[in-house]
Amino acid sequence: MRGRMKAAAVAVVLVTLSAALGGCLGGGEGRLIQTGSSTVLPLAIAWAEEFQGAQISVSGGGSTHGFNALLSGEADLADASRLLKGKDYVSVGGKDEWVNEDGTASRPVNGVLPVKWAVAYDVVVVVV
End-to-end CA distance of the chain: 27
Q: Comparing C-alpha atoms, which of 62, 2, 15 is closest to residue 38?
A: 62
Domain ranges of the chain: 2-98
Residue 32 φ then ψ, to 5° = -100, 130
The length of the chain in residues reads 128
Confidence of residue 3 (pLDDT cuts 50, 70, 90): low
Kindly list the strands in the beta sheet with 77-79, ordered across the sheet, starting from the edge strand earlier in the chain. 56-59, 32-36, 77-79
Q: What secondary structure letter does DSSP report for 41? A: H
pLDDT in tens, 72-110: 999 999 999 999 999 999 999 999 999 999 999 999 999
Distance set, CA 117 to CA 14, 17, 30, 39, 61 (Å): 13, 11, 23, 15, 19
Average pLDDT over residues 42-64: 94
Asked if 81 and 118 touch (Cβ cutoff 8 Å), the reply is no
CATH superfamily, region 2-98: Periplasmic binding protein-like II (3.40.190.10)
Q: How much of the chain exceeds pLDDT 90, in percent?
A: 68
